[in-house]
Amino acid sequence: MLTKFQWLSMALKNAMRNRRRSLVTLAITATGTAAALLGGGFALYTYQSLAEASARDTGHLIVAMPAHFDGSEDVPLQYGLQNPAALTQRLLAEPAVQRVLPRLQFSGLVSNGDKTEIFLGTGVDATQEFLVKGPFMTRISGELLDGHPAAKGPGIVLGKGLAKVLNAQPGSVLTIMSTTVGGSLNALDVTVAGIVSSGITDIDKRLAMVDLGTAQTLLDTRKVSSLSVYLDEIEASDATAAILRAKLGAGLAVRTWLNQAQFYQSVKNLYNRIFGFLGVIVLVIVLLSVTNTLAMAVLERTREIGTLRAMGATPREVMRVFTLEGMLLGSVGAVLGMALAGGLAVALLFLGVQMPPPPGRTGGYPLVVTVSPAMYLGAATAVALLSALASLLVSRKASNQTVVEALAHV
C-alpha cells in the first residue's frame, strides 16, 4: 500500500516525463491566474478608493430628519435639524465616533457684477471640513475657509469650474443670493478665499462652500441640513448606525455612507460583472490547458495503464495518479501566477504608473493593485480543484478499460 508521499512522488515523476508540455501548461496556468488576480486586485483597489472618497464626502454616517433624505422640501430647511449642537454632543458620546460635522445644503445665484451663475452651496465647519476631505479635495489657489481672515468679511471657496466662469480669483468680491427659510430673497457679499477642485468636472462647475454661520445668516436660520458622523473605521458603519438608531429613536434617521454612494454601487456592480467574466474565461483556459495535457498523457500511457491494471492496480488507483498529476500542475501554476501577480503589484507601487482621467473627472489616478490574501487563496484553490477535476474526467475512461483493451492499444 503506497503512502500519500509516494502517490505524490509518482504523480510528480509522471508530470515531468514530457517536460516541454508540462512547462507550457504551467506557463498558461500561471499567466491566466496572474491576469485574474491583477484584474481582481485592480477592482478591489477601485472599490476601496471609491468607498473612502464617498465616506469622506458624506461622513460614515448621516444623521437627519427622515423626510430630509426624500429630497422634496417646499422651502429651504423644511426638514432641517433644530439645535444641532446638543445632538452633536450626544453623538460624540459614542466611543466609535471621532467627529461630527454640521452641514447646511442650499442653492442660489452668485454674481461678480457682470455675470451670474447658479451654485450649489454648503455651509460647513471651516476648522474641520477640509481635514476630513483629505486628498479628495485639492486646493488650486488661495486659502481654505479656516485661513480666511475675519477682517475681510465672510469668505467663500469656489470650485475651479465656477471660478473660471466668474473670472474669480482669491480676493475677488462676489454676491451670493438665496431664498431664506421664510421664502424671501436674501443676498450677501463674500470674498473668495480660495479655489478648489473635487476632481469631478460637473461638481466643480457649481461648487461653493462657506462657513456654517455665513450660510445660516444668508438663509436666516439656526438649523442645519444634517450631521455627518465620522468613525474610527469604515467597517464600523453598520454596527454604529444600528446603535445610534436605537438611541435616537424614530424622530431621526441614520443612513450609512453606502446608502448615499450611488456612484460607488454602480461602479462596483459594473466591475463585478467585467472581472467576474474575466475570471470565468481564465478558469476555462486553465481547464482546457490541463485537460489537453492530461489527455495526451493518458493517450500515450494507455498501454502503461493496462500494465498497471495487470499488476493489480484498481481503476481508482490509476485515476488517483492522473488526478494528483493534474492537481500538481494546477497548483504549481497557480503558485507561480500568485508570485507573478504579487511581484507586479509591488512593482506598480514603485513605478508610479498613472491611469488617464475617467470620464467626467479632471485628474488621473495611480495604477495600484491590491493584494488580497483571501482572493489569492480562493484563486489558487479554484485552479487546483478544476485541474484535478479535469484530470479525473480525462483519465476515467482509460482507467476503466479492460486490461486486454489497454494492452492492445496502439
pLDDT at 409: 54
CB 139 within 8 A of CB 160: no
- Range of the structural domain that residue 198 is part of: 66-251
Of 13, 9, 108, 25, nearest to 293 (Cα)? 25
Same domain, 27 and 169: no
Residue type, position 381, single letter: T
pTM: predicted TM-score of the whole model, two decimal places: 0.82
What is the rounded CA–CA span in Å between residue 39 and residue 33? 10
Q: How many Cα atoms within 13 Å fall on the side-chain side of residue 339?
A: 9
CB 156 within 8 A of CB 169: no
Q: Roughly what angle, to the nearest 10 degrees, separates helices 19-58 and 315-351?
A: 50
60 in a structural domain? no
Same domain, 21 and 88: no
Same domain, 277 and 208: no
Q: What is the pLDDT of residues 83-115, one digit of tens each?
A: 899 999 999 999 999 999 999 999 999 999 899
Among 251, 279, 311, the domain-final residue is 251
Among 251, 273, 290, the domain-final residue is 251
For residue 251, how far is the Cα from the chain centroid?
A: 33
Same domain, 395 and 326: yes
| 3-state SS, residue 105 | strand
pLDDT at 192 over 90: yes
What is the rounded CA–CA span in Å between residue 62 and residue 256? 6
Same domain, 302 and 189: no
Same domain, 245 and 275: no
pLDDT at 403: 62
Q: What is the pLDDT of residues 253-303, one digit of tens each?
A: 999 999 988 888 988 898 889 888 888 888 888 778 877 877 777 676 667
CB 117 within 8 A of CB 109: yes
Same domain, 184 and 210: yes
Of 322, 338, 329, 323, nearest to 380 (Cα)? 338
Same domain, 16 and 110: no
pLDDT at 302: 67
Backbone CA torsion sign across 321, 327, 329, 335: negative
Higher per-residue confidence, 292 vs 379 = 379
* Percent of the chain whose predicted confidence (pLDDT) is above 70: 89
